Amino acid sequence: MKKRQLGSSDLFISEISLGGMSLSTDKEQAASIVDMALDAGINYFDTADLYDFGVNEAIIGETLGKRRQDIILATKVGNRLTEGVDGWHWDASPSYIKEAVHASLQRLGTDYIDVYQLHGGTIEDDWDGIIHTFEDLKKDGLIRAYGISSIRPNVLQRFLPASSAKIVMMQYSMLDRRPEEWFDFIGNEGASVVTRGTVAKGLLTNTWKERLQREHSYNAYTAAELAPTLASLAKHYDDLHALALAFNLKETAIASTVVGASSQEQLAQTLTAYENSLGLLDFATAKQLTKAEQYQDHR
């Protein structure tokens, strides 16, 4: 498993990383997937306090156990659960971030978080306060690096130049190429992109025909466009899953692509696709067959 530098930080993360959101709340099942990922050379694990109301952080922390020093652990903050109120609400206040980081540390069973990310954000947020808080957490040794999970250009333009953020987590795939416009900007600000949604709900895997039965449209692709686009991609490339990974990792701005796995079988399929992706170098057809759109909102 190859590794890439996360922005201008001293952190090097695996090109494939494991997202916690798909993990089972069954500790034994989750542990089997985490152990398999570690044995395959995956060292970047992404979770959030939002996932399963904090249970996901606790399971990942317990599962990693003594292997904590071998991994780069990332979690997120900003979605606040209020007791007695249904659902979450957005809270990016400095006071809540300081409170939430300690709760995450306790659930994860560690005394530091490698990568702490704001889990969204709007242009109206107190960015000076947010940045100052993240910098204080770094000085206190509670986090090693920080960043944001966002697809909003105006937020990125406000946040990155004013901070020492090292990561932007974004949805990106052949079926959602909107972030491409911003890769140079992100890289020039000393940060790397970590992608989510790389296989587009399974549409960009070798089970795409079955997935089409459930997902009739995706992003800017209508039902009339999606099926022929996938059929054409599959016709030109032997392994659609490998192509999906290689298409993302061809970008120097991208440090890693986060994959989910609810079973060892799913993770094994991703690992096989990753091995097959290493030989893929020609993406001209993939670019011709897919839409190179740009974000229209939040500019």
Catalytic residue numbers read 51
Quick one: tokens of 191? 């940060």
Residue 265 buriedness (CB in 10 A; 0-12 / 13-18 / 19+):
exposed
Contacts of 243 (CB under 8 A, 6+ apart): 174, 204, 233, 237, 277, 280, 286
Tell me the C-alpha distance between 5 and 129, whole Å.
27
Tell me the C-alpha distance between 203 and 218, whole Å.
9
Q: Terminus-to-terminus CA distance in the chain, angstroms?
A: 36
Quick one: tokens of 20? 């916690």
Question: How far, in Å, are 222, 240, 251 from residue 233 at the CA level?
Answer: 16, 7, 19
Q: Which residues of 35-53 are buried (b: 16+ CB within 10 A; e: fewer)?
A: ebbbebebbbbbbbbbbbe
